[in-house]
Amino acid sequence: SLRAVSPDDMSGRHVLITLGPTREKWDAVRFWSNPSSGLMGACIAMAAWLRGAEVTVVSGPVNWWFPDEINVIKVGTAKEMFDACTDVWSQCTTGCLTAAVADFKPIPHGEGKFKKAGRDSLSVDFDTNPDILKTLGSMKRDDQQLIGFAAETSNIQESAKGKLESKNLDLIIANPINVPGAGFESSTNSVYVLDRAGRTEEWPNLPKTEIAWRIWDLLLQN
């Protein structure tokens, strides 16, 4: 198999990966979400598995194929993703959180389907969701490593450094989400990488499969 002929340099690791968007329900037929495809996370999960790791994927509502050996936990809301991740994190050696988690959730309208009749405008109030990556970072032991992503439209390097520090990460991968060939719904990405020691790299316009492989190369060097 492909796994048998791939390097075995991640065996002994148990990797947790989050991917895809979350969906925050508002009424019986509507939700708040984003266009994340989950492809970057799926590539990272497959690369870790090919290299011999045990892999747990916590997936938002997207449908990537994974081999049977990969444990896939399907979730909808950020709260469900949070619960799944905090349950397994203590058994993992490595986390890589790529999911585009909704920072806020609409306060549900109530039971059933919201009706438009008699209204000419609508405002919705939101509550905050828990920060999954920050929570795992605060629980992180010396024998665990944690990788985060940063989706940015401006000040990429500065924002990435802020997130690396505030979430207690070992590595952060920042991607611009407003340039062609990067970010959401793209099969390629352009990323800026920063580690805890302050080392930086720039990988412009590569397929997400290749970026996934390089992320593990870099983590294994650390």
Which residues are catalytically annotated? 34
Q: Which amino acid is at 25?
A: K
39 scored as a contact of ligand CTP (CB under 6 A): no
CB under 6 A: which stretch of 29-37, 43-51, 146-154, 184-192 binds ligand CTP? 146-154
How far apart are the C-alpha atoms of 215 and 149, rounded to whole Å? 11
Which tokens go with 27? 């009424």
Residue (10 or 133) nearer to Ca ion, CB: 133
Under rule CB under 6 A, which residues in 60-99 are in contact with ligand CTP?
A: 78, 97-99
The residues with which 152 forms a beta bridge, in sequence order, are 176
Residue 148 near which of Ca ion, ligand CTP, none (CB within 5-8 Å, type-dependent):
ligand CTP
Q: Is 163 annotated as a binding residue?
A: yes
Q: Which residues would be at the binding site for Ca ion (CB under 5 A)? A: 103
Residue 99 near which of Ca ion, ligand CTP, none (CB within 5-8 Å, type-dependent):
ligand CTP
Q: Is 103 annotated as a binding residue?
A: yes
SS3 145: strand
The secondary structure of residue 107, as a DSSP letter, is P
Q: Which of 132, 165, 129 is nearest to 16 (CA)?
A: 132
SS3 50: helix
Q: Is 171 annotated as a binding residue?
A: no
Q: Do 107 and 127 form a contact (C-beta atoms < 8 A)? A: yes
151 scored as a contact of ligand CTP (CB under 6 A): yes
Query: Residue numbers of the site for ligand CTP (CB under 6 A)?
Result: 18, 78, 97-99, 101, 103, 129, 131-133, 148-151, 163
